[in-house]
Structure 1
Amino acid sequence: MQRFSASPGSLNDPVTLVDEQGIRWVLHRRCLDVRVVRRLVKDRATLVIWGDMGGIGPRAVSEAERLALWGRIKGEYSGPGGAGAMGRYVAHEFRAEPGRRMLFVEDHC
């Protein structure tokens, strides 16, 4: 998967991500509310990407990891509705045609 030069949330529009299948994903919403993150993590139709090193090293989350993902980020989410400045994670929504959604979680360790 393509790497970013900086965290996707800090890049100027348009922000795109091309995955291994050549699908072009476009950043749709930045810094999602924690309730939206929870819903997208649980939605099996939504692709989930983990962005290591502040989001610059993206990788797809396996089904096994996905089961534990919400428990990992819910207490340390820095976006709206989360832990604020004390948080470690922030998430964005990317979209691709036709009607596909991707949750991109940035890990700021």
Structure 2
Amino acid sequence: MQPFPANPDSLDDPVTLVDDQGTSWVLHRKRLALRAVRRLLKDAAAPVVWGDVGGLRPRPVAEAERSLLWTRIKDEYKGPGGARSVGRYVAHEFRAEPGRRMLFIEDHC
């Protein structure tokens, strides 16, 4: 996956991510509510991307990792519904045609 010059949350629209299969994903919603993050994590049809270094270095999340992510981020989520002041994770929804959704989680370590 292509790296970002800055975290997706701070980039001007349109923000596009091209995955390893050549699919173009466009940022649809920034800073998802925590319950939306959980819903997308459970949706097997929605790919999940982990953004290391504040989202600069995205990588696809393996299926086996998905269930562990909720435990990892739920108590340190910085977006709506989370521990905003002390959190280190934020998540965004990207979309691709036709009607595909992707969850992008930024890790601000």
- TM-score w.r.t. the length of structure 1 is 0.99
- Alignment match, 1:63: 63
Count of aligned positions: 109
CA–CA distance in structure 2, aligned partners of residues 60 and 31 of structure 1: 19
Q: What is the correspondence of 1:44-55 to structure 2 with a 5 Å cutoff?
A: 44-55=44-55
| Overall identity of the aligned pairs, in % | 71
Give the gaps of 5 or more residues in structure 2: none
Which of structure 1's runs of 4+ aligned residues deviate more than 3 A?
Answer: none
Superposition RMSD in Å: 0.4
**SS of 1:85 mapped into structure 2:** coil
- Alignment match, 1:32: 32
Displacement of 1:28 = 0.2
Displacement of 1:85 = 1.6
- Alignment match, 1:84: 84
- Alignment match, 1:105: 105
CA–CA distance in structure 2, aligned partners of residues 89 and 103 of structure 1: 12
